Amino acid sequence: MTSLASFTLSSTRKHEWIPITRQVQRLVTASGLTEGICVVFVPHTTAALTVNENADPHVPQDVQFALDAIAPDRQEFRHVEGNSAAHTQTSLVGSSLTLIVTQGALLLGTWQGIWFNEYDGPRTRKVHVRVLGDGPFP
C-alpha cells in the first residue's frame, strides 16, 4: 500500500518554524495505513524539516539562534540571491524525514513534533507526504 499527498503552507517571517505534526497525521489517517512508514519531504532549497520538542515555544528560537551562529549571513557569500545562509542551514537540517507509523499513528516521543523550518521567507511552500506499508507487521 502506498499513498502520496501534499499540502501548502505560508511563512510570514524570514526565519520561522511551523508545527506540521497535525497535518502529517491527518494524511496518515486518510491513507488508511495502520503499520508502515511515513516519508515527509519539502522540495525547496531554503526550507527544511526536523523532529524536535513541541512543548516549549523557546526551543525553535534557541535552535534557530544556534543555526544562525553556525551559518550566519556573510558578506563574502557569492550567491547572487543573497540567501546562502538559508541554503547552508537547509543542508545542515535536511529536507526529508522518515517516520514510523504504528496503529495508524505517527510514532513520536512525548515531547516530539514535526517542524517545517523556513529560512528564506516569507514564502508559500509545499510539503509532500508518502505513506508506505503492507498492513500489520509481526
Domain boundaries, the chain: 2-132
Please tell me the distance from the alpha carbon of residue 30 to that of residue 27, in angstroms, as a whole number: 5
Question: Hey, is 138 helix, strand or coil?
Answer: coil
Burial classification of residue 8, based on how many CB atoms lie within 10 Å of its CB (0-12 exposed, 13-18 middle, 19 or more buried): exposed
The whole-model pTM stands at: 0.92
pLDDT digits 0-9 by tens, 74-94: 677 667 676 788 988 999 999
Residues 6+ apart with CB under 8 A from 50: 63, 93, 94, 97, 114, 115, 117
Question: Hey, is 11 helix, strand or coil?
Answer: coil
Which CATH class for the 2-132 domain?
mainly beta
pLDDT digits 0-9 by tens, 42-83: 999 999 999 999 999 999 999 999 999 998 876 776 676 767
Nearest residue to 71 (alpha-carbon basis) of 59, 88, 48: 88
